[in-house]
Amino acid sequence: MPQNVVKPSNQIVAYGDPLTVEMEIGANATAAKMLAGRVVIFDDADQTVKEAGAEAKNVVGFLEVDPEKTKTTAYAVGDQAKVVIGECLAVLTLLASENVTRGDPLVCAADGKVAKQAVGAMGEQGQIVGFSWETSNVTTDAEILVHWKPSAEPAAAA
């Protein structure tokens, strides 16, 4: 048995057997940003998704690789895509210049990437989507292992 989790070369789920659903890439999605390993939110029509924005609150899951394509092939608007919604270890894209340590809570960043949860007012930080499984501090986007485990964001006090 390996002593660590190995990042797969052409899939996003690194470990686990998470719940997945087939959904359509929505009309409001930016096709170039609909890449495997990017977090998605609901689009306007039922059963459609688009890329998540910074501090998203309505996260659906993340895109897995189309089995007939490669990890770097973007989905087009109207394509069917496998969306991972269940708990697992996954290789997601960390926003450039984010300094994360193992266990740090992660939220959505622009374009479906993830970033370290910032300190701020409760209900204004975005939904936690998972926890960093490794340390990273580079000036470019980085693929890191994430314990994908979305949770509800606490509501702000009224």
pLDDT at 49: 98
pLDDT at 66: 92
pLDDT at 122: 58
pLDDT, average across residues 104-116: 95
pLDDT, average across residues 62-86: 95
The whole model's pTM is what?
A: 0.91
Domains and CATH numbers, the chain: 13-84 (no CATH), 88-148 (2.40.340)
Residue 120 has pLDDT above 80, yes or no: no
Residues 150 and 127 sit within 8 Å (Cβ to Cβ): yes
Residue 56 has pLDDT above 80, yes or no: yes
Q: Provide, rounded to the nearest whole percent, the portion of the chain with pLDDT above 70.
A: 91
